[in-house]
Amino acid sequence: MTTIAATRAPGAALLATERLSKSYAGADGELPVLAGIDLTIRQGEIVALLGRSGSGKSTLLRCLAGLIPPSTGTVTYHGTELTGPNPGTAMVFQTFALLPWLTVQQNVELGLEARGIPPRQRTAAALQAIDLIGLDGFESAYPKELSGGMRQRVGFARALVVEPDVLLMDEPFSALDVLTAENLRGELVELWDSGQFPTQAIVLVTHSIEEAVLLADRILVLDSRPGTIRTELAVTLPRPRLRDTKDFEALVDAVYAVMTGRERGTTTPTAVPRRTLANTPLPPAGVDGLSGLAEILAQHPEQIDLGDLADELGLEVKHLLPLVDALELLGFATADARGVVLTDTGVEFAAADVQTSKQLFAAASDHVPLVRTIVTSLHRTQDGTLRAGFFRDLLAHDYTDEQIATQLGVATDWGRYAELYSYDTLSEEYQLDPAQRVTAP
């Protein structure tokens, strides 16, 4: 937390949470998503909630909007506890959430209509918002005629026209292509700085570090499983912020270090806890993707910074993260704040032909809890088959149904490739590979 600087003069508190926790019912009791979140959103600031998928940042945003109830703790707006949807917020959605059967103007007027504002005033306000957000001339268009960027502008206009105290943004740029997103971010910041912005604060949910550093005054980094606020970083860089300045890059690196839990300078991890099903979820990475990344990394014998690698490949860091996690989990690579590099087995894996690479992969999978669990469980049965339901039940202690589906999907993919077991979709059964049955554990 090297970069925390003196915070700006704080405005009045608009939104606050106190000891907020949220858990969902799982098969085996409650699964915590958020635990003990204390945060305050003040007048005049942009706050970024940054975290990987599964850190509960979107859930937190919806708690602030009063769309989902916290399990314990409270959300207050102007000091009053919320009992329903928060009247002082408006939301911008990742998927835009436009009604395709309404024109741009009708979409923008929706919130005003709900407040019972007469048609004439409604139209005037909507046109003003449309003008502000740069949608002039598109009033009578239908959303499907618009490009992604234009659609999200409608999303912004619809939220801003009701003049909420706090604008809530749920990964608003992540469904857009890189250039469009960059442009929209720039315009948003300009508008915010111009003083014309009709809201008093913005809360932004994102998993892009650069985006958080570009936009926010304050970055709250969330931990995963359950989501807690790991660190709070103030960003004092003057706007407009330029990506290729030293300060900017330093801040991005610092945030990256915080997010991955590998702060600069600590090289040897101290006493890694034993890997279990619960603490080692499989990253959503396919075998082809991680083999491809391994081959690319093989061309960089020195550590390479993830940001540079992403640039080189024309990707975003967030796309690389699951693959890097997977390589690390399999022991094919190591990653820290300075970057990522292949291990010796990793180099071997990258260079191997199909059969050898399968063998290496099988050996490495032994360190992956879920794959290992499936193999050992299958060994203990008479006929080497087990219903997927068995593993679903095992995972239900620590994962939601949706997560279980992803976990088993990845485990199936990896196990098939490693020729450890096969899976029959119709009967939903795992079956030990015949070659494995000979070599009893």
Partner 1 sequence: MPLTDRRARIERVAGSVPARVRWVLGGFGWADLVVAAGVLVVFYVAIRTGAGVNVRFNPSRPLNIDTDPARLPYYAARSLLRMFVALAASIVFTFVYGYAAARSRRLEKVLIPALDILQSVPILGFLTIAVTTLVRLFPHSLLGLELASVFAIFTSQAWNMTFSFYNSLISLPRELDELSRNLRLTRWMRFWKIEVPSATIGLVWNGMLSFGGGWFFLVASEAITVANHDYTLPGVGAFAGAAIAEGNLAGVGYAIVTMAILVVGVNFLFWRPLTAWAEKFKQEQSEAVDVPRSLVLDLLRRSHWSRLFAPAGHAAGELLDRAGRVFGTDTRPLTGSRARRRVGDVVFTLVVVGLIAWGLVGLLRFLTGTGQGLAVFVEPLLLGLATLARVVVVIVAATLVWVPIGVWIGTSPRLARIAQPVVQVLSSFPANFLFPLVTWVLVRTGLSLNIGGAFLMSLGAQWYILFNAIAGAQAIPTDLREATNDLGVRGWQRWRRLILPAIFPYYVTGAITASGGAWNASIVAEIVTFGATTLTASGLGSYIADATATGDYPRILAGIAVMSLYVVGLNRLFWSRLSTLAETRYSLT
* Footprint on this chain of partner 1 (rule: CB under 8 A): 62, 65-70, 82-85, 87, 89-91, 93-102, 110-111, 113-116, 119, 142-145, 151, 158, 162, 425-426
Q: What is the distance between the alpha carbons of residues 288 and 127, in angstroms, rounded to a whole number?
A: 49
Do 67 and 93 contact (CB within 8 A), yes or no?
no
CB of 75 to partner 1, least distance (A): 9
CB of 21 to partner 1, least distance (A): 14
CB of 326 to partner 1, least distance (A): 28
CB of 145 to partner 1, least distance (A): 8
Question: Which CB atom, from 99 or from 178, has the smaller least distance to partner 1?
Answer: 99
Q: What is the distance between the alpha carbons of residues 295 and 314, in angstroms, rounded to a whole number?
A: 17
Question: Which CB atom, from 170 or from 325, has the smaller least distance to partner 1?
Answer: 170
Kindly give the residue spans of alpha helices, DSSP state H, lying in 161-299: 178-194, 209-215, 246-260, 287-298
E strand residue ranges, 43-145: 46-50, 72-77, 80-81, 89-92
Using only the alpha carbons of the chain, give its radius of gyration. Answer: 24
Question: Which CB atom, from 11 or from 69, has the smaller least distance to partner 1?
Answer: 69
CB of 123 to partner 1, least distance (A): 11
Q: What is the distance between the alpha carbons of residues 372 and 142, in angstroms, rounded to a whole number?
A: 52
CB of 425 to partner 1, least distance (A): 7
Question: Which CB atom, from 63 or from 368, has the smaller least distance to partner 1?
Answer: 63
SS3 of the chain: helix, strand, coil, percent, to 5: 40, 20, 40
Question: Which CB atom, from 121 or from 266, has the smaller least distance to partner 1?
Answer: 121
Question: Which CB atom, from 71 or from 385, has the smaller least distance to partner 1?
Answer: 71
Beta bridge pairs of residue 231: 221
Nearest to residue 205, comparing CAs of 240, 234, 170? 170
